[in-house]
Each structure stands twice: as structure tokens, then as C-alpha cells.
Structure 1
Amino acid sequence: MTTVRDATLDVLRQCGMNRMFANPGSTEVPFLTDLPDDLEFVLGLHEGTVVGMATGYAIAAGKPALVVLHTTAGLGNAVGALATARVNRAPLVVLVGQQDRRHLAAEPFLAGRLQGLAGRYPVWEHQPVRPQDVPGAVRRAWHEAVQHRGPAIVVVPMDDWSAESDPALGSAGPVTLTRGRLEPGPAVDDVVRLLESAESPVLIVGAGADEPQAWAELVTLARGLGAPVWQEAFGARAGFPQDHPQFAGHLPSNRSGLRSVLAPHDVALVVGTGAFRQYAYEPGPLVSDGLTVAVISDDPDELHHSHADVAVLTDVAAACAAIAARLRPRPFTAAPRPAPELEPPRADERLLPTNVFAALAQRLPRDTVLVEETPSTRPDLHRWLPARAPRGFVSAAMGGLGFALPAAAGLRLGDPSRPVVAVLGDGSSLYAVQGLWSAARYACGVLYIVLNNGRYAIMDRLASDAGGKPPWPAFGEIDITELARSLNCPARRITSHTELISTFDDVLPGLSTRTEPLLLDISVAGDEAATQPGGTS
């Protein structure tokens, strides 16, 4: 007899989902027991870690990752990470276990009220009416995750797996569903006219342009347009080479700062993101009256929440190529941008985060994937470590912490050809520290750099700026080095500049072939001014 489980496993193979990320419970045992050898099980010790790893894997591999969660507890614990996956445009197929279908009406122990538990963050959510509909629902979830670039959820009662499949149904739905490119055609005519009439255009890029073809076309467009290029505020990925002479920096996340930066320009072309991402509310207009804004994205949600005069739903790379081909080239004179300089600390001085970034800047391979979760020092990280290749920078688009540590492991699993370095605050690292065990268990050679100041630096600064005293304590007594070692991840504690340089010179040359993770617990000064809002360090 061919079971629903057999048919579903065939669907997973056909869709290329041969690796699943999970933290199992009893409702998943019928599906997972005696898993065939061609399907790999990756264990995470918490559901946030599971989804974080899967998100990194999906970003790196460019295809949906499979997640298995345990009824209400599993899905509930994972909601924040699923929200991050949605905003990070990571395609996930999420199987959520449910109690036995035959007595669900009586609400037995572990029965979950699962529909809607993840809110509006899933791109699709379904519990099949019959067991025989499960394989088709899983295939549909794969297509939905690809099409809408986010998590698609299928709830499966535990007894469904042993039911006899319906060969007449097959797996239902098309085996192949190709997403055609949204060619720009005449849709960019208005954009071209705006740019041709502009006296001082500006180009703004976002995470939706973080792929090789889009980078190449944006460089050509920027040169032809003769315009400076800004990265969106709080960008989760880089939309343009940040060492390019025309790259101007990262937009401010407040209205007055945004207006000031854009004041010299009459037309702004926003590519691969919405217009414009902000943080704390500030009264006043978003942009000045004299600025016309055009937005190009292949994500309709980005267009609908944009402050824009013209919005075009189309393929980003194709649109940039079409626009560049029709524009008359303009000259561009890059303003001199001196490289940042920093004196090493004296022997009696504690390290600063910038000392760490400066040392990394001299040694990191160009193709390194840098994963960031250090809110209090993110501007310094951008200044010292610009993204120089597509997928050179990855962060949590949602702003919540707990993403970077497991995502770095997933990024390495999804593309073992590229070295991965995760830079974390000590507070950030503790949100998903269980991920170190998975990184070690599955030979993810990630270098984890924890900037340890023993407190929530950014939160302390925000409380001080508000004129108050924070009620939360410092937590310098936590030993992150020993915590990492207890999770089977090698770790070193670093307290001096000499140790820092020696360790980097030892570790970084072999980063691309490394299979064992390593955590560097770097003690940094805790009284420096925090410079970036949002989250904790």
C-alpha cells in the first residue's frame, strides 16, 4: 500500500526539498520515523533556531527550505522567526503537526487551534480536508512559497500519514509552475520620462535588488544616470556594491534626516524596496514637495505602502536594463570619500567595536557573507565593512533579534562555497544561542563574533535619551565562551588588540574551507555612545 506519507516524500524529492529543519514532537513522529536516507534531518533545539536556519538556507540556496514544527507550541514559538522570513523574502514550506484527525472535535491533549496562529505572515495556510489531499497541499505550498517568497504552512493531523493515498489524485496540481519574468515593456515609460527631465536625480536601492544581475544592471543605470546611490534604511540585504564610487551611504531612518539627504534632488528612483522605510515616528512630511518619487519592485506589497508618484510592478533587473538603454548618459563626479582610520587601542585600553571592524576590514575575503545583529554598532559596521558582492550582507528585515545566529548556519549550509561571518551583540546572541549546537552538529564553518559589553547598550542609551533610568540590569556575569563550549561549539575569549589580530590572522585565511564553527567572545568597552536605534546589543 502506498501511504500519504510515501506520496508526500515523493513530492519533497520532486521539489528538491531533501533537507528538513525541525524540532520534533509526538504529532510528527509518524512522519519522521524511519526517514529515508536521501532526506536529511537537521535538528534545531528551539523553533526560532529551526526557522532561522531554514531562512538562511533558503536565501543562500535560492529555493524553498522545508520546516517541520510541533502543533501549537512549535508554531507559536516560531511566529517571530516566520515573520522575519516573510519580510526577508525567504521561501519556506512549513509542515505543522496536529493531533489525530479522528478525535480532533473533542480537543484532545496537544490539539492545536492552528489556523491563523501565525497571523498574516504566512503567504498561504491550509489544512487539507482529507488525508489524501496532503501531498497536493505540500506541492501547492512549494509553489506559493516560490511565487510569494515567504512561509507557506500546511497543517497535517498525525494519522493522515498512514492513510492510503489516492493514486487517481497523484499529487494534485502542476508538477512544474514557472514564474515568468515580469518584463517592463512600456510600463517604465513614465519612469524614463521623469529621469530624462530630472535636473538632479538620485537612486535608492533595497534588499529586493540583491542578486548578481540586478547589481550589474543597477551599476550600468547609475553610471548612465550620473546619480548618487543610497541604500534604504535598515536594509536587510545590500542592493548595490557599497564600495562603488557612486555609493553615497545608508538613508536616515527619520523624516527630517531623509528630507535633508534628498533635498538636493528633484527625482528619486527607488529600486527593490518601498519608499521610504522609517523607524521612530517624527512629524512633518516624509519628503519635500519638490521631489518626485518613482518605485520599481517585483513585490506588490512594497509598491502599495510606498510614498510614490509612479509605481511599477516588474522584474527589477530587466527594468533597470530597459531604463538604462533609453537614457542619455550624464557625467558624475564622485565626492572624495576617505577611508576610515582608527588607531589601535593602548595596552591599558579596552577594545572598541570599531577596532574589531577595522581588523576585519583588512582581512575578510571579498565574497564573505556578513550576517549582522549588533544594533548599537550597525552604522560603524556599514562604514568599515561595505557589502562588495551580492548577498554580502544579510540582516533581519523585521528588526527582531534571534535571526543572525541560526541564519548564519543556514546560509553556510545553503551555499558552502562562501565564507560566513556573523557579527552579534552579546544580548542578541542569547536570543538563539541554541543554534550553536546545530552549527557544530552539521559542520557549518561559521565564524561567530560576539561583541560583549555585558549589557543591552542600545536600550540603555534609548532610556538615557528619554531622560530616564532603565529598569533592566546588566548581565556581565554570563559566560558566553563557556556557554558556547557547552553547546559543543569551540570558543575563544579575546580581551586585547594583540589577541584579536593574532586570532584573525590564524582563523580568517581558512574561513572558506572551514567546517567547524568558532565563536569569538570579544570583550568591548560598554560606555561608548550607541549610534543606532532598534533592538538590543
Structure 2
Amino acid sequence: MRTVRDAAFDVLRLHGLTTLFANPGSTEVALLSDLPDDLDFVLALHEGSVVGAATGWALARSEPALVLLHTTAGLGNAVGALATARENRAPLVVLVGQQDRRHLAQEPFLAGRLAGLAGDYPVRLETPVRAQDVPGAIGRAAHAARVGRGPALVIVPMDDWAQPADGLPVPAPSTLRQATGVDTGAVREVAALLDAAASPALVVGAGADDAVTWRALTALAERLRCPVWQEPFGARAGFPQDHPLFAGHLPAERGRLRAALAPYDLVLAVGAPVLRQNLYEDGPLAGDGTRLAVVTDDPAEAQRAPVELAVVAPLPAFCGELAAGVRDRSGAPMPVLGRPAAPRPPREGEELRAAQVLAALAERLPAHTVLVEETPSSRPDLHALVPARQPLGFLSAAQGGLGFALPAAIGIRMAVPERPVVAVVGDGSSLYQIQSLWTAAHYGVGALFVVLANGRYAVMDQLADRHGGKPPWPAFEEVSVCGLARSLGCPARRVTGRAALLAELDTLLPDLAHRTAPLLLEVAVRPDRPLAPDARAASGSRPALDPRPAPEELA
């Protein structure tokens, strides 16, 4: 007898959902026992790690990843990671187990009130009315995840999988196509704004992180001879950050943001919100002399943008036509943009600083490395010192919650094993999903985890200092991240001092793309403040500015 389970497997194959990330329970056993050989199962030891790894996989492949969660406990544990997946626009198909349909009315043990548990973060949630509706619901979830670029949930009672597949309804379309054409009138309207501007600038964001859009934006910036800024809190790079026209990362504090944008009479955001903030401050995002416009493929992003003109369009095609349509100013002098100086090496016997570790990494990382970041107190230094040189070169949690970097790095490396993957993580951040290291070790995932260990929540200490108060939370210098990694089967070494650090990096990084086992380096660093503001003074009247977020913007 052909079962609902058999039909569901066919739907999963149709949509390329053949790698299953899970931490299952009893309500999922009927689905997983004797899993077909063409379906791969990846176990993680916590649901945050499950969803984090699937998020990395989905972002690396630009295709939905498959997740399985165990009723209330599993979905509840995963909600924070699902929120991050939604903000990072990662397409996920999430199957959530439920108690047996035949006695749900009595609310048996492990029955879940699941429909609203993840709040508004799913792009779709479906509870099939009968077992035979499950395969079609999975197909609809796959389409919803692709189109909405977020997690789509299907809640499946445990007895549904064994039900006969007779009388299945017409499922979701096998293929769903979206138009990718460009409104030429909208291109002309944006080009006219740029042509009328005496000093335009671009702000790029995560939505522009693909090879075609990078090429188009590079051509556009070079024709305009204009600087390109990265959005505040950018979860991905939208432009090659080693390009001469890259100006740096915009601050998210409004006063500093207005100062950064003051030299420009038009700012066009591409693939970025306008302009994301954290702590509230009175006043506009830009001064009276600066007009704002946005081009995005996210309708919600366009609708909430405080701009003069918002255009919703497929970015690769739109940016290509825009680059060809603007007035060519490439004969004008190239603006001179400052670059931050590398920090001085530590003196003999002096503890390493986070910036010194990042500078050493920057000198040695292959250009095609995927760097996954979760080090709040050192993120400004990372932005200043470690440029993203290829698409998917930088990734962090758009939503801001901790526990993303370790599992995401694992999922990325599994999805694109040809690229080196390095996660740079604070020791405090690492503890939120330290369990994910077991998955890396068990499945032979050759990612490198660099943990900047200062034994405290340094960014919170900085916040307390700026507020003029004494923090009530203690340091946790007793915690050995290296020891925790080893207990989970992940090779790990603790590094102290510059000579030991350089020896490790010089040995590891040249062969990083070929690693078949993970490695964690716990690098002892002193708790300190980010680098002093650097001057990025260009020709003309541009002021010297620190383009990096202040520590309070990273909490």
C-alpha cells in the first residue's frame, strides 16, 4: 500500500529537499524509521543548532532546506532561530511533529498547541485537515519558502504518515515561476534621480549579495564615480569591500548617520532597508539636503521605507539596466577614500587584542572564504579590517539573536564544501549553541571556529560603562570553550600570544578548503574597546568619520 509517507518523500525529492536537519522525538519516529537511502539525515543536539545549520545551508545554496522539529518543545526551542532565518531571508521547509490525530481532542501527553507558537515569523503555516493533505501542504510550503524567503511550517500528526495515499488531492504545482522582467519606466525614473544628483552615493545591503548584482553595482558605481556604503547591521555584504569605491559601514546612530550622509544630495539604497536603526534617537535619518530612494526585491521593505521613491524589482536585472542607463561620469576623478590602518602588533608579553587577531586573519584568509560573524564587541573591528571580497563572503544574524554563527557555519560548509568557512565568534556567543560542534565533528564538517575569548560579555560591559553604571553580571573566566568543544568530539586548541596565533593561522588557512574535520581555536584576548575611529576623508569636503557602529549599536 502506498502511504502518505511515500507520497511525501516524492514531494520532497521533487523540490530537492533531500537533506533533513533534525532533533527528533517520538512524534517523528514514524517518518524517520528506515529512511530511504537517497535522503540524508543530519542530527543536531539542540533545535537552535538544527535551524541554524539549515539556515546556513539554505543561504549558501539559495534553495530551501528541510527541517524537522518535535512538537511543542522542539518548535519552542527553535523559535529564536526561526526568527533569525526569517530576518536573514533563508527559505526553510519546517515539518513539526504532532500527537496522534485520533486522540488530539483529549490533549494527550506531547500534544502541542502549535499554530501560534512561532508567532508571525513563518511565511506560511499549514495544519492539514486530513492525512492525505500532507504531501500537498509540503509542496505549498516549498513554494512559500522560496517566494517568501523564510520558514514555512507544516504541522503533521504522527499517525498521518502511515495512512493510505488513496484519494490524494491535486498537490501544489511541481514548478512555480515568477516573472523576472524589469519595468523600464522605473529604471528610467531611478536613473533620472541619479543623473540629477551632483554627489550621489549608494548604500548596499544583504539583498544585493549575489554575483550578478555585485557586477552590476560595481559597474554602476564606477559610471557614477560615487562611494558605496554598506547598510548598518548588514547581515551580508552587498558590494566587494576591497573595491576602491567602497566607503565602509554606515553607523546606525542617527546623529552619526546624518553626518555620514551629509556630503550627498542623493542616497540610493539597493537591497537594504532605509536605514536600519537600533537605539532610538530624535531627528531624521538624513539631513534636508539629502534625498533618499530605495530599490529592493522585498515589498515590505519598500512599503516601510521613509523615502521619496521606492521600487520593487528583481535586483540583478534592475541593477544591470540601471548601470547601463545612467549618465557616464567615469572620466571624473576617483574619490579618495581612507582605509583603516592595521593595529600595531602586541608588544612582548602583551595580551592579544581582538583587532590584532582579526588583522592577522585578514592578511591570510583566501578571497573565497565565507566568514560567519557573531562577536558583538569586536564586530566594528571585523568590519574595518576583514573585507568581504566575493558574494557570500560575510554572513551574520540579521535578527541580532545569539546562537547563529556556529551552526550556520556548519550548514554553509556542508552546502558548499568547495569554499573555506571560518566562524569568528565571541566566547559568550559561542555558548548559545556550543552543542552544534558535535554535528560538525560527527559529519566531518571542515569549518574553522575562531573563538575570541575574553571571559565575559564584553559588549554588555561597554554598554554599562557608557550608561555610567556598574554591571550586575559577573565574568565567566572559568569557562573553557576549548574544553567544551573537546567534550563534544570537536578538535580544539587554546591559543595565547601572537607567535602561537600566527603559527596556527599559517598552518591552517592555506589548506582550509580541503579540511574534512572541524577545528576550534580559542584565542585568548584582552577585553577592550574597538579600534579608535578611523578617518575616511575623501577628496572635497567629506568629513573624517568613523563608519563603523558604536558598541551600543551591537547589543
Shorter-chain TM-score range: over 0.9
CA–CA separation in structure 1 for the residues paired with 2:76 and 2:30: 21
Q: Where does residue 489 of structure 1 map in the other structure?
A: 490
Greater shift, 521-530 or 220-229, is seen at: 521-530
Deviation at 1:16, TM superposition (A): 0.7
Q: Where does residue 165 of structure 2 map in the other structure?
A: 165
Contact 2:342 2:385 in 1 (8 A): no
What secondary structure does 1:96 align onto? strand
Q: Where does residue 460 of structure 1 map in the other structure?
A: 461
TM-score when scaled to structure 1? 0.98
Deviation at 1:3, TM superposition (A): 0.5
Counterpart mapping for 1:53-452 below 5 A: 53-167=53-167, 169=169, 172-330=171-329, 331-338=332-339, 340-452=341-453
Greater shift, 526-535 or 410-419, is seen at: 526-535
Q: Which residue type is aligned with residue 301 of structure 2?
A: E
Q: Where does residue 539 of structure 2 map in the other structure?
A: none
Contact 1:60 1:411 in 2 (8 A): yes
Deviation at 1:221, TM superposition (A): 0.6
Structure 1 residue 473 and structure 2 residue 492: aligned?
no
Deviation at 1:175, TM superposition (A): 0.6
How big is each residue's C-alpha offset from its partner over 1:242-285, in whole Å with a ceiling of 9 and x where there is no partner?
01010001111011111111111111111001111111111112
Q: Which residue type is aligned with residue 388 of structure 1?
A: R
Deviation at 1:37, TM superposition (A): 1.1
Q: Which residue type is aligned with residue 444 of structure 1?
A: V
Q: Which residue type is aligned with residue 419 of structure 1?
A: P
Deviation at 1:535, TM superposition (A): 5.6
What secondary structure does 1:533 align onto? helix
What secondary structure does 2:97 align onto? strand
CA–CA separation in structure 1 for the residues paired with 2:530 and 2:265: 35
Contact 1:401 1:535 in 2 (8 A): no
Coordinate RMSD, CA, aligned: 1.3
Greater shift, 368-377 or 178-187, is seen at: 178-187
TM-score when scaled to structure 2? 0.95
Deviation at 1:528, TM superposition (A): 3.8
Greater shift, 504-513 or 342-351, is seen at: 342-351
Structure 2: runs of 5 or more not aligned:
532-549
Deviation at 1:167, TM superposition (A): 4.9
Contact 1:86 1:122 in 2 (8 A): yes
Q: Where does residue 48 of structure 2 map in the other structure?
A: 48
Greater shift, 316-325 or 69-78, is seen at: 316-325
How big is each residue's C-alpha offset from its partner over 1:426-461, in whole Å with a ceiling of 9 and x where there is no partner?
000000000000011111101000000000001011
**Cα distance change, pair 117–335 in 1 and its aligned pair in 2 (3 A):** same
How big is each residue's C-alpha offset from its partner over 1:82-111, in whole Å with a ceiling of 9 and x where there is no partner?
010011010000000000111111111111
CA–CA separation in structure 1 for the residues paired with 2:33 and 2:486: 30
What secondary structure does 2:551 align onto? coil
Contact 1:223 1:332 in 2 (8 A): no
CA–CA separation in structure 1 for the residues paired with 2:298 and 2:286: 22
Contact 2:378 2:530 in 1 (8 A): no
Contact 2:252 2:553 in 1 (8 A): no
Deviation at 1:354, TM superposition (A): 1.3
Q: Where does residue 18 of structure 2 map in the other structure?
A: 18
CA–CA separation in structure 1 for the residues paired with 2:271 and 2:474: 40
Deviation at 1:338, TM superposition (A): 4.4
Q: Which residue type is aligned with residue 283 of structure 1?
A: D
CA–CA separation in structure 2 for the residues paired with 1:338 and 1:97: 52
**Cα distance change, pair 168–490 in 1 and its aligned pair in 2 (3 A):** closer
State the identity %.
Answer: 59
What secondary structure does 1:362 align onto? helix
CA–CA separation in structure 1 for the residues paired with 2:144 and 2:242: 36
Q: Which residue type is aligned with residue 385 of structure 1?
A: V
CA–CA separation in structure 2 for the residues paired with 1:337 and 1:295: 26
Contact 2:133 2:168 in 1 (8 A): no
CA–CA separation in structure 1 for the residues paired with 2:156 and 2:150: 19
CA–CA separation in structure 1 for the residues paired with 2:347 and 2:317: 52
Structure 1: runs of 5 or more not aligned:
none
CA–CA separation in structure 1 for the residues paired with 2:333 and 2:112: 60
Q: How many residues align?
A: 535
Deviation at 1:178, TM superposition (A): 1.6
How big is each residue's C-alpha offset from its partner over 1:375-425, in whole Å with a ceiling of 9 and x where there is no partner?
101111111110000000000000110000000000001111100000000
Contact 1:4 1:162 in 2 (8 A): yes
CA–CA separation in structure 2 for the residues paired with 1:411 and 1:353: 24
Q: Where does residue 37 of structure 1 map in the other structure?
A: 37
Deviation at 1:339, TM superposition (A): 5.6
